[in-house]
């Protein structure tokens, strides 16, 4: 197994072999998660603290379940309600954490770079559960596992990432991962939601869904990140749905066996038609949630092995 990192802060520093190592181990954990007894002991005796400074449903629950299935002592700190509101700095938070001796720290934060900063100050392995618009590595890894299992490979695929690219950490981590694995990535969305430097990322950019989806194997839709918008980026949600919302007509431009993905939470009738999202022949949105638990188990298991090797 090749995975040498001390933390999982983003996809950017990962080597393709490390990505494959995480996905291979996650594949094994999918089997465990489908069994009637869902327990392994990879994290027995270790303490996992989940600190979410931003709301989350799927990701927090997924990390919590992943830690519990591997035998860790898991604690959720309610950061929204507590210290961030009282103005405690990240450094003070780190000192408090060090005194509690966690082994694994899962952090989500509204500011890009905040998780990296925390990782420099704490004495444990840190997993980035999403920082601002920057990265969301476990989301990209679970997307990769979903694609690999449904397409049988994770290279030389045509993948369209559609919608609000500008505010999306999911898009950024996916662009990095899918590029490292040698796929052809297209970004599709209104020019106001495509970052200005996007053409330099080794991707193709389209502002038209029919053209962008032509011949695609994978159609990945993104949520409009209204909480990160400080002005009007779209004329109206109705107009946005008309031009960029995924419906049967637009999907017909992709390959006949193209899969549809969405990281959740979904705005039905804004970026995606509810019928497409629920169509089990096209949509792999539920599989993405399932793969999320397995990928987080694999990532924490590998980081814990490195912690143990360091201590030995």
Contact with ligand ASP (CB under 6 A) among 69, 109, 136, 282: 136
Size of the site for ligand ASP (CB under 6 A): 8
Contact with ligand ASP (CB under 6 A) among 132, 190, 263, 292: 263
Give the CB-nearest residue to ligand ASP.
223
DSSP string, the chain: -----S-B--STT--HHHHHHHHHHHHHHHHHHHSSS----TTTT-EEEEEESS--SHHHHHHHHHHHHTT-EEEEE-TTTTHHHHT--HHHHHHHHHHH--SEEEEEESSTTHHHHHHHHSSSEEEEEEETTTB-HHHHHHHHHHHHHHHS-SSS-EEEEES--TT-HHHHHHHHHHHHTT-EEEEES-GGGS-GGGGGGT-EEES-HHHHHTT-SEEEE----GGG--S--SS-HHHHHHHHSB-HHHHTTS-TT-EEE--S---BTTTB-HHHHH-TTTB-HHHHHHHHHHHHHHHHHHHHHHHHHHH-
Min separation Cβ 216 and ligand ASP, Å: 20
Min separation Cβ 289 and ligand ASP, Å: 11
- Per-residue x/- track, 221-250, ligand ASP (CB under 6 A): --x-x-------------------------
Site for ligand ASP in 158-217 (CB under 6 A): 169-170
Min separation Cβ 133 and ligand ASP, Å: 9
Min separation Cβ 264 and ligand ASP, Å: 6
Q: Does 134 bind ligand ASP (CB under 6 A)?
A: no
Residues that bind ligand ASP (CB under 6 A): 130, 136, 169-170, 223, 225, 263-264
């Amino acid at each position: 197994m090749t995975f040498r990192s001390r933390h999982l802060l983003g996809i950017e520093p990962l080597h393709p072999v490390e990505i494959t190592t995480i996905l291979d181990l996650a594949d094994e954990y999918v089997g465990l998660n489908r069994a009637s007894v869902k327990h392994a002991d990879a994290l027995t005796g270790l303490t996992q603290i989940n600190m979410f400074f931003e709301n989350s449903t799927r990701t927090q629950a997924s990390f919590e379940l992943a830690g519990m299935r591997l035998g860790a002592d898991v604690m959720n700190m309610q950061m929204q309600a507590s210290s961030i509101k009282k103005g405690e700095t990240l450094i003070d938070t780190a000192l408090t954490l060090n005194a509690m001796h966690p082994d694994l720290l899962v952090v989500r934060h509204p500011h890009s770079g905040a998780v990296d900063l925390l990782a420099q100050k704490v004495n444990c392995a840190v997993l980035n559960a999403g920082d601002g618009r920057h990265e969301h590595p476990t989301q990209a890894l679970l997307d990769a596992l979903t694609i690999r299992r449904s397409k049988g490979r994770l290279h030389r695929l045509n993948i369209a990432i559609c919608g609000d690219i500008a505010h999306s950490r999911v898009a950024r981590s996916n662009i990095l991962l899918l590029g490292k694995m040698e796929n052809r990535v297209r970004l599709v969305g209104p020019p106001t939601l495509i970052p200005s430097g996007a053409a330099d990322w080794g991707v193709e950019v389209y502002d038209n869904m029919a053209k962008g989806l032509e011949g695609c194997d994978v159609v990945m839709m993104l949520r409009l990140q209204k909480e990160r918008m400080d002005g009007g980026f779209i004329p109206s949600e109705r107009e946005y749905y008309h031009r960029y919302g995924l419906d049967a007509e637009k999907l017909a431009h992709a390959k006949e066996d193209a899969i549809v993905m969405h990281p959740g939470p979904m705005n039905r009738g804004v970026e995606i038609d509810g019928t497409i999202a629920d169509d089990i022949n096209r949509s792999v949105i539920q599989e993405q949630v399932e793969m999320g638990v397995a990928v987080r188990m694999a990532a924490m298991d590998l980081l814990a092995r490195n912690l143990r090797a360091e201590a030995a």
